[in-house]
Amino acid sequence: MPDKKKKLESSFLNMLIVLTVISLVSAFALGFTYTKTKPVADKVAQKKLEDAIKLVVPDFDRLGEKFKVEGFERLDLYTAYKGDAVVGTAVKTVSEKGFSGDVWIMVGLDGTGKVHNTQILEHKETPGLGTKLSVPKFKDQVNGKDLQTFKLSVKKDGGEIDAITAATISSRAFCDAVQKAYDAYQKGGVK
């Protein structure tokens, strides 16, 4: 007669041991995967950042180190140079006033402090509405503007920006992020 294998008794201790082993193996696998993929993920994030900077500042051949400005801790600023001349500053900025959370934007300011271009980096706005932040017809409204004289708010609030239809909150978040970038630039200057 074949030997019947004894089944593991269903007790609290046995369940605890099995679940602990499964948790440890899962944690090890997750940690191993994270350490192996982190360098690749960091390179992809750095490439995405560099591409966004190239899109928002005038042509440059050298980028300065990232720096911060007191009072704007969530913002990162990068000075762009052509030779020894400053051609612009890129500001990675954020507004917490989005409809569905943070709206991250890269704002490029030219050597005179005017907005050169903007690039939407990340948001969780409503698909089909708030996602229109990336559409040139909306985001390019600030290009070439001197924010000392341009009223950077939606027309509904007395400003000069045509809001996205049915996405006024997202439009306000865009204006808020761009204004923060400009304010940080004005306070922090060039590094």
pLDDT tens column, 159-183: 999 888 888 899 999 999 999 999 9
Q: Where are the domains of the chain?
A: 55-188
Q: Report the first-to-last Cα separation within the chain, whole angstroms.
A: 84
Residue 111, pLDDT above cutoff 60: yes
Q: Which comes out higher in pLDDT, residue 124 or 38? A: 38
User: What is the DSSP code string of 122-164?
Assistant: E--PPTTTGGGGGSHHHHGGGTT--TTTS--SBGGGTSSB-PP
Q: Residue 2: what pLDDT?
A: 58
Residue 104, pLDDT above cutoff 80: yes
Place of tokens 């290009």: 143
Minimal CA–CA distance to 48: which of 60, 37, 59, 40? 40
Give the pLDDT band of residue 31 (cuts 50, 70, 90): very high
Backbone φ, ψ for residue 10 (5° rounding): -85, 85
pLDDT tens column, 45-96: 889 888 999 999 999 999 989 999 999 999 999 999 999 999 999 999 999 9
Q: Residue 94: what pLDDT?
A: 95
